[in-house]
């Protein structure tokens, strides 16, 4: 399954590279526009492969109190930030990528910043789980903050596409493809978000006849997810070996 996904991404990328070459030579938007919807498929397949903060997103939503609509907003913010960071890197600092960001397709400084902020959100969730109940909960703002911080890690394939488009003098084609690719990434992450919320709500409904147990379980999930986010952040910033 993973090999098939990688193969499909490669085929779509190579096909789009041909469209970029044609566009750079002719400036004809017609042929490019016909192919752009394939970018949605590209983004959806790409987001289904390992990475893209799916584990972080699902874990957070499972332990939060966000409704499905709010969860969708978090997944969209994550997708938009994830793809937009690559576009901005390519547009604003392409000549400095190899110096400031390390190997091509990655941005270690941004990755560490993202993971550090995720760890802080995890600590905040642990504190919320331990504090006395009844205080106002800023779950919606917290969720959007998670989407922004997790999305700071740029999308390598978007960066490759943008770099190739810029090298061919077809920057606008790269931006157009990044836009439709973002929609595909958003679709996959939205599916992850809704699934996590539905599973959480199903579990809580099974326990709603026992209010005390329900409250304890909700707070326990909140705390466990917070600890998980802290562990993920520490493991990524300070890898073993």
97-128 residue pLDDT tens: 444 444 444 555 555 655 666 666 667 666 66
What is residue 191's predicted lDDT score, i.e. its pLDDT? Answer: 94
- 187: number of Cβ within 10 Å: 18
Mean pLDDT of 48-76: 82
What is residue 97's predicted lDDT score, i.e. its pLDDT? Answer: 45
Mean pLDDT of 55-64: 80
Domain that holds residue 106: 2-237
Average pLDDT of the chain, as a whole number: 75
pLDDT grade for 67, boundaries at 50, 70 and 90: confident
What is residue 26's predicted lDDT score, i.e. its pLDDT? Answer: 85
Number of domains, the chain: 1
pTM across the whole model: 0.70
**Residue 210 zone, left/alpha/beta (φ > 0; ψ -120 to 50; rest):** beta
pLDDT, tens only, 172-207: 888 999 999 999 999 999 999 999 899 888 877 776
* Tokens coding 145: 């903050």
What is residue 103's predicted lDDT score, i.e. its pLDDT? Answer: 47
Query: What is the SS3 string spanning 119-170?
Result: HHHHHHHHHHHHCCCCCCCCHHHHHHHHHHHHCCCCCHHHHHHHHHHHHCCC
Higher pLDDT, 195 or 143: 195
Higher pLDDT, 218 or 49: 49
Mean pLDDT of 62-90: 86
């Amino acid at each position: 399954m993973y090999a098939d996904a990688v193969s499909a991404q490669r085929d779509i990328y190579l096909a789009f590279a041909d469209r970029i070459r044609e566009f750079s030579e002719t400036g004809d938007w017609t042929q490019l526009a016909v192919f752009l919807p394939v970018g949605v498929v590209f983004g959806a397949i790409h987001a289904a492969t390992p990475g893209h903060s799916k584990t972080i997103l699902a874990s957070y939503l499972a332990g939060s109190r966000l409704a499905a609509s709010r969860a969708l907003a978090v997944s969209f913010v994550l997708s938009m930030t994830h793809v937009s960071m690559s576009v901005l890197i390519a547009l604003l600092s392409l000549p400095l990528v190899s110096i400031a960001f390390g190997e091509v397709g990655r941005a270690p400084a941004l990755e560490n910043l993202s993971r550090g902020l995720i760890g802080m959100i995890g600590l905040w969730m642990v504190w919320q789980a331990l504090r006395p109940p009844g205080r106002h909960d800023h779950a919606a703002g917290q969720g959007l903050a998670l989407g922004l911080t997790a999305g700071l890690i740029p999308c390598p394939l978007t960066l490759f596409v943008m770099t190739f488009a810029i090298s061919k003098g077809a920057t606008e084609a790269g931006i157009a493809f990044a836009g439709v690719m973002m929609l595909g990434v958003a679709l996959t992450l939205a599916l992850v978000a809704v699934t996590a919320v539905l599973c959480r709500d199903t579990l809580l409904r099974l326990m709603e006849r026992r209010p005390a147990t329900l409250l304890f379980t909700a707070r326990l999930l909140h705390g466990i997810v917070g600890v998980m986010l802290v562990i993920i952040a520490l493991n990524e910033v300070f890898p073993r070996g």
